[in-house]
Amino acid sequence: MIAAATGVAAAALSVSPVRIRLSGASSRTITITNAGDTTAAVEARPASFVLDRRGKPTIARERLEAAGWLDLRPRRLVLAPGGTAVVTVSSAAPAGALPGDHPALVLLTTQPPRAAGVAIRMQIGVVVFVRVAGRIVHRLELGTLRVRRRVLEAVVANRGNVVERTRVRVSLSRGGHVLVRLGPVARTLLPHSRGIQRFRYRGRLRGWVIARVEAGALRRTFRIRL
């Protein structure tokens, strides 16, 4: 959820689900609930998002193609305190769209009353993945492992065309004996993207060690200095 506040009371919105998947020409619904004590005017629009290399989602400055495939109905709605409403999300990928998963976002934004001198505007983003039929490619790769001030940064790349969810872990050993285990930490990677998973080590181990990075069935070993 992305929220910005510049004043006092406002509607308190919640949505369900927070992530949906669409295949081909299909549709799903999003239920919006106003748990606040004021009426909420809400605008729904398609947008795009990206994950930074540490996995944090942010609204993309440039609109990606999948956002243009979404049709939202209704685009504007009003919820009384305690009320609920439903937005239907439909997708229609154009002919020639590349196979695989395409990320988009349904952005729900409250509109402050015209008479309000000070208001709060809230934004909630529902993640959408549109799956286009065709050849599906699963291809994860482990990249480098860097050490910066006792923080280990493991690079994982998704060379495939679908969203991947993986669990990354690191073990530290010396003389054939595992001394430290870090993780696992779950990580989502969008198609054709790279991510950095950070592991902070506060133990007493010092000097050269063997670090083994694992992500699912992938394994890679590095010699590092702590």
2-132 matches 140-225 in fold: yes
Looking at domain 2-132, does it have CATH number 1.20.1730.10? no
Distance of alpha carbon 85 from alpha carbon 63, whole angstroms: 26
Q: What pLDDT score does 6 carry?
A: 41
Using only C-alpha atoms, the chain has a radius of gyration, in whole angstroms, of 22
Distance of alpha carbon 66 from alpha carbon 68, whole angstroms: 5
Amino acid identity of 60? A
Q: Give the burial class of 54: count Cβ atoms within 10 A of its Cβ; 0-12 exposed, 13-18 middle, 19 or more buried.
A: exposed
Q: What pLDDT score does 64 carry?
A: 84
Q: What pLDDT score does 9 carry?
A: 47
Q: What pLDDT score does 37 carry?
A: 86
CA torsion angle for 4, 107, 18, 189 (degrees, to 10)?
-100
Amino acid identity of 99? P
Q: Which residues contact 213 (CB under 8 A, 6 or more apart)?
A: 142, 145, 154, 168, 169, 170, 219, 220, 221, 222
Task: Tell me the CATH class for 140-225.
Answer: mainly beta
Q: What pLDDT score does 117 carry?
A: 54
The residues of the chain scoring below 70 in pLDDT are: 1-11, 113-120
Task: Decide: 62 and 48 in contact? Cβ < 8 Å.
Answer: yes
Q: What pLDDT score does 119 carry?
A: 59
Q: Give the bridge partners for 148, in sequence order.
A: 151
Q: What pLDDT score does 195 carry?
A: 92
pTM, rounded to two decimals: 0.85
* CA-based torsion, 204, 151, 224, 164: positive or negative: positive
Kindly report, residue by residue over 173-183, the tens digit of the pLDDT: 999 999 999 99
Domain boundaries, the chain: 2-132, 140-225
